[in-house]
Amino acid sequence: MKYTLYFLLLSISISGIFSSCISSEEINYLQAIDKQYPLQEFKEYKLDVGDMISCAISSSDQELVSTFNTVITNNQNVLKTYTIYEDSTVILPFFGTAKVAGHTIQEAEIIVQNLMQQSVKDVQVKVTMANNFFYIYANDKRGSYQVYKDNMTIYQALAISQQTTGLMDLTRVSIVRKGPDGNTQVKTFDLRSQDVIQSEYYYIKPNDVIYFPTNKNSFFNISSMSSFITTMSVPLQFLLYSIIYRGF
C-alpha cells in the first residue's frame, strides 16, 4: 500500500509537469500556419509630427559648423535635436523652418540642404532620426532598443532584445503603432506563422511598441524546470524516506 501511494504521488507530479510543458509548435517560427495576413511590401518610414531629427552640417565656414552642430551637455559635445511641430516643420537656427513631416529621412535631408544652401552655398547636410527606437514589453524583459537599419524585421528586434521565447505566447503578439491617419493602432498576430514575412508586421518602425503576452505554461519552461525539480525533490525525498523507513 505504501509503495502504491508513493508511486501514485510521483506519477501525479510527473504528469502535471509534462502535461504543462511547452511544445515546439508553441515556440518555433516560420511554421506553415495559414493566417492569410494582408500582403504589404517594405515602405520607408516617413517622418511624423513629434519625431525628432538631428542635422549635422559641413562647410568651409567652420565657425558656423561649430555653432550649429553641437551643444555641450555634461561636458560632452552632442548633436542638437529638432522636434517636428504640428505644422510639420522644424525650426533650424540661422536658416528658418523646413517642412519635413510626411517625408523620408533622405527626402528631408534634401529639403534641409536646399534651405541651407540659400544662405551658405557650400553647405552639406546629414539628417538622422533622433528618436529612432522601438519598445518591448514582455514577461522577463522590458526596454527600448534602437532601430539600427531601415528594413529591420521583428525577428531581428526579438534577437537584439534577447527575449526568452519559452515565456511568451507567440500566438498573440501585438504591435502598437501610429497609423497613416495619425491614430494609434493595435495589431495582433501569430508570430509563429511564416505568413508574417509578407505582412505589415514584419518590418519594425520607429516608436513601435511590441507586446509579448506571457505563455500560460511558462512556469514549466526549460529555464525554470531545474528550479522546479529542485523544489519538488525535497518533499518527495521526505515522502520516500517516510514510506521506506517509517512505514508511512
Q: Which pLDDT tens digit goes with each residue over 7-17?
A: 555 555 554 54
User: Mean pLDDT in the chain?
Assistant: 78
Are 210 and 187 within one domain?
yes
Q: Which pLDDT score is estimated for 200?
A: 84
Which of 105, 129, 153 is the C-terminal boundary of a domain? 129
Compute the Cα dihedral for 112, 80, 48, 207 and give only its sign: positive
Are 122 and 136 within one domain?
no
Q: Report the first-to-last Cα separation within the chain, whole angstroms.
A: 9
CATH of the domain at 195: 3.10.560.10
Are 229 and 153 within one domain?
no
Confidence of residue 169 (pLDDT cuts 50, 70, 90): confident
Are 203 and 230 within one domain?
no
Are 91 and 141 within one domain?
no
Are 137 and 209 within one domain?
yes
Which pTM does this prediction carry?
0.69
Contacts of 225 (CB under 8 A, 6+ apart): 17
H or E element, residue 70 = strand 70-73
Which of 102, 129, 156 is the C-terminal boundary of a domain? 129
Are 110 and 185 within one domain?
no
Q: Which pLDDT score is estimated for 223?
A: 46
Confidence of residue 180 (pLDDT cuts 50, 70, 90): confident
Are 110 and 233 within one domain?
no
Which of 111, 129, 147 is the C-terminal boundary of a domain? 129
Confidence of residue 56 (pLDDT cuts 50, 70, 90): very high
Are 211 and 179 within one domain?
yes
Are 164 and 210 within one domain?
yes
CATH of the domain at 98: 3.30.1950.10
pLDDT digits (tens, 9 = 90+) for 87-116: 999 999 999 999 999 999 999 999 999 999
Q: Which pLDDT score is estimated for 242?
A: 61
Candidate from 65-74, 133-142, 143-152, 191-200 with smallest mean pLDDT? 65-74
Overall number of domains in the chain? 3
Are 125 and 238 within one domain?
no
Candidate from 51-55, 69-73, 162-166 with smallest mean pLDDT? 162-166
Mean pLDDT of 42-70: 91
Q: Which pLDDT score is estimated for 82?
A: 95
The residue behind cell 493602432 is: 185
Contact assessment for residue 104 and residue 75, using Cβ atoms and an 8 Å cutoff: no
Confidence of residue 19 (pLDDT cuts 50, 70, 90): very low
Amino acid at 200: E
d(CA 222, CA 201): 28
Residue 115 is part of which domain span?
Answer: 52-129
Are 59 and 123 within one domain?
yes
By the 10 Å C-beta count (0-12 exposed, 13-18 middle, 19+ buried), 150 is classed as middle
